[in-house]
Amino acid sequence: MIKEKKEVKEYVKQAEVTKISLFGKENYTWMLIGLAVLALGFFLMSGGKSSNPNEFDPKEVYSVTRITVAPLLIVAGFIIEIIAIMKEPKKTI
């Protein structure tokens, strides 16, 4: 009986140790911001429907938004994600 109680106490202690989260609230916030920046970059890079599929409009395909702004946003989103993952969560006691 006493041995069983000790085993239960040890199990509870192990369960408490595993409750510690790998990421903090701030990490998750930055991850969501990074995902939003990534989504915006991919949205800006995606193409619109041409009014006439038989005509090629270079202004639409090679616009500054698709060629420069969108890829920069995607790279920035991945950098934000890396920072969010690598950042140490604040210690709460």
Sign of the C-alpha dihedral computed for residues 47, 50, 56 and 60 taken in this order: negative
Domain boundaries, the chain: 24-93
State the pLDDT at residue 92.
63
Mean pLDDT of 20-48: 91
State the pLDDT at residue 58.
81
How long is the chain?
93
Structure pTM? 0.70
CA–CA dist 93, 87 (Å, integer): 18
CA–CA dist 40, 37 (Å, integer): 5
Q: CA-CA distances (angstroms) from residue 70 to 24, 35, 44, 45, 53? A: 29, 14, 6, 5, 24
